[in-house]
Amino acid sequence: MNQSVNLQLDQMTPRQIVEELDKYIIGQTKAKKAVAIALRNRTRRQQLSAEMRDEVYPKNIIMIGSTGVGKTEIARRLSKLSGAPFLKVEATKYTEVGYVGRDVESMIRDLMATAIALVKTELQANLTGEAQLHTEDALLDLLLPGSRKEGDASGTETREKFREKLRRGDFDDKKVEIQTSVKGGNSAVELLGGANLEEMDQNLGGALGNIFGSRKKKRTVSVKQAREILFADELDKLVDMDQVVETARERAQSMGIIFIDEIDKIASRNSGGGGGPDVSREGVQRDILPIIEGSKVTTKWGAIDTSHILFIAAGAFHVSKPSDLIPELQGRFPIRVELEDLTHADFQRILTQPKNNLLLQYKELLRTEGVEVIFTEEAVDRLASYAFEVNSTTENIGARRLHTVLELLMEELSFTAPEIPGQSVTITPEYIDERLKPVVQDQDLARYIL
C-alpha cells in the first residue's frame, strides 16, 4: 500500500474510512462504522491536552459473526489502509504463563516489531538518495582501490569516469568481493526455538544478538547484486535506530491496533467436561486482561505501555457466547458488533464489486494465457445461487463457498486454457449447470468436493 494513502487515513473521517472499506467488503456496515469510529477516536485523542489524553481509553470492539462473513477481512483491510502498527493474532496460539507455548505478552513485542519495521521504512524513504551515493562510492572503492584520495586530480578524474560508467550499468556483470553482515540473528534465534529467547537475550545484555547478529561474511557477487546488497546496508547504517525506536514506541503505544481472532475459542468457561483445557483457556484470558487494561510490557526496545492500544476481537461465537468470557474481560470490550449472514444478493456483489474481485481474478489469470473469459449477469446470479444452496445443505462457510464453487467451475478451463489462446469463453448459466449441477445435487459429493 502506498505511503500517501497510509498517511491520509489518520485524517480521514469515519465516513471516509467506511467508504474506503466499502471498496473491498460488501455490507457489514455496522462493523465498519464501529472500527471507523474507534480509529477516529485515536486521532481525536491525540489532539487532547496531555492530562485529558491519559484519561481516555480506547473502546475495544468484539466482532461477532458466523464464519466467512468478513470479520478477518475487515481487519486485514484496515491494516492495509492504516499507517498504524497493526498485528493480527489468533487467541488459540497462546498458552498460560508457565506452560510451554507463546505467552500473551509476546503480542506486544510483536506489535512493537511491526512498528519498528513501519517507522524504519518511513524514515528510510527519505534517505534513498544519500544511500545511493554511498553505495556508488563503496562500489568505486572496490572497482578502483585507493582512488578515493584528496588532491589527486588525475585519480579523481578517473574515479568520476568510472562513476559514469557505473551509473550506465557498464560494470553490472563484473565480479567484486564484498563484506556482508550476516543478519542471521533472527533466524538463528528462531532455530533455537522458544518464544522467550528474546527475554533471555535481554538478560544477557544482547549477547545473543552479538553472537548471531553482527557476523561478517565475504562473498563474491556481480556489481549488480553488490549494488543491491550494499544499498540495503547503507540504508541500515544511515537510519538513526534510536530515533526509529523512539518513534515506533510512541506509535505502537498510541496508535497500535491488535486484532485478536478466534476469541470465542478461548471463551468456553463451563462447557466441556473435565476442565483440563478450559482451565488453561481461562488462564489465557486472565493473562490477556492486564495487557488490555493497560500495563507495561518489557521488550528489548524498552517497556511498552499498553493502555491505549486498540484491541479488536473477533469470533463466530457459535458454541460459546461473549458472556462466557471472564467478566473483567467483557468489560474491556464495551463495543459489540454483529456481522450479518451474507445473502444471495451479497454473494452476487462479492463476486463482482470489490476491487480485485474473484471473477476479475480468474479473468486476469486466464488472460495471461490469451483467453478472454466473460461472465454474463445471469451467470453471476446462478453462481451465487449455487454457493448459497451448498451453504444451506452442507455447511455454512459464508463467502468462502464462492471460492470452492468457482474453483470447481473453472477447473476445466484452467486446465485447457494454454491450448486455446486467442479464444473467448462466455460463462452462461447453462455452462455452470453443466459443471456444477451433478455435484451440487449429490450432497455426499458436494460435501467432499465443494
Ligand X SMILES: Nc1ncnc2c1ncn2[C@@H]1O[C@H](COP(=O)(O)OP(=O)(O)OP(=O)(O)O)[C@@H](O)[C@H]1O
Cell 545484555 sits on residue: 205
Q: Whole-number minimum distance, CB 103 to ligand X, in Å?
A: 23
Q: What is the CA radius of gyration of the chain?
A: 27
For Mg ion (CB under 5 A), the number of binding residues is 2
Q: How much helix, strand and coil, in percent to the nearest 5, is found in the chain?
A: 60, 15, 30
Binding mask 290-329 for ligand X (x = CB under 6 A): --------------------------x-------------
Beta-bridged to residue 298, according to DSSP, are: 303
Of positions 32, 42, 71, 159, contacts ligand X by CB under 6 A: 71
Strands 61-64 and 310-315: parallel
Binding characters for Mg ion, 45-74, by CB under 5 A (x = yes): --------------------------xx--
Q: Give the range of 69-77, 123-131, 221-229, 369-377 binding ligand X by CB under 6 A.
A: 69-77
- Quote the strand ranges of 31-167, DSSP E: 61-64, 86-90
Contact residue for ligand X among 12, 17, 25, 304 (CB under 6 A): 25
Which residue lies nearer to ligand X by CB, 265 or 300? 265
Q: How far is the CB of 393 from ligand X (least distance, A)?
A: 19
Which residue number, 78 or 143, has a Cβ lying nearer to ligand X? 78
CA distance 44 to 41: 5
DSSP structural state of residue 263: G
Nearest distance in Å: CB 217, ligand X: 42
Query: Among residues 29, 41, 43, 67, which is the contact residue for ligand X, using CB under 6 A?
Result: 67
Using alpha carbons, list the distances in angstroms from residue 387 to 125, 138, 178, 339, 378. 45, 59, 57, 19, 14
DSSP 370-430: T-EEEE-HHHHHHHHHHHHHHHHHS---TTHHHHHHHHHHHHHHHHHGGGSTT-EEEE-HH
Q: Nine-digit cell at 128?
A: 534513498
**Looking only at residues 371 through 400 of this chain, which bind ligand X when binding is defined by CB under 6 A?**
398-400
Q: What single string gives the DSSP state of each residue in 133-158?
A: HHHHHHHHHHHSTT---TT-HHHHHH
Nearer to ligand X, 286 or 400 (CB): 400
Q: Is 28 in the site for ligand X (CB under 6 A)?
A: yes
x/- mask, Mg ion, residues 69-108, rule CB under 5 A, reads --xx------------------------------------
- Residues 143-202, interacting with ligand X (CB under 6 A): none
Q: How many residues bind ligand X (CB under 6 A)?
A: 18
The partner in contact with residue 283, picked from ligand X, Mg ion, none with C-beta cut-offs of 5 to 8 angstroms by kind, is none
Site track 262-281 with ligand X (rule: CB under 6 A), x = hit? --------------------
C-alpha grid cell, residue 374: 466473460
Shortest reach from residue 65's CB to ligand X, in Å: 6
67 binds, among Mg ion, ligand X, none (CB under 5 to 8 A by kind): ligand X
- The answer to whether 68 contacts ligand X (rule: CB under 6 A) is yes
| CB nearer to ligand X: pick between 288 and 313 | 313
Closer to ligand X at the Cβ: 70 or 185? Answer: 70
CB of 266 to Mg ion, least distance (A): 15
**Residue 92 touching ligand X (CB under 6 A):** no
Closest approach, Cβ 447 to Mg ion, in A, equals: 22
Measured from the CB atom, the residue of 71 and 120 that comes closer to Mg ion is 71
Cβ of residue 343: shortest distance to ligand X, in angstroms? Answer: 10
Q: How many CB atoms lie within 10 A of CB 374?
A: 12
Residues 6 or more apart whose CB falls under 8 angstroms from that of 343 comprise none
Report the interhelical angle of 377-393 vs 344-352 (nearest 10°).
130
Which residue has cell 464495551? 334
Going by their DSSP bridges, the two strands 424-427 and 372-375 should be labelled as parallel
Nearest partner of 65 among 433, 396, 450, 412, judged by Cα: 396
Tell me the closest approach of the beta carbon of residue 69 to ligand X, in angstroms. Answer: 5
Cβ–Cβ under 8 Å, residues 53 and 46: yes
Instruction: Write out the residues near ligand X by the rule CB under 6 A.
Output: 25-28, 65, 67-73, 316, 350, 354, 398-400
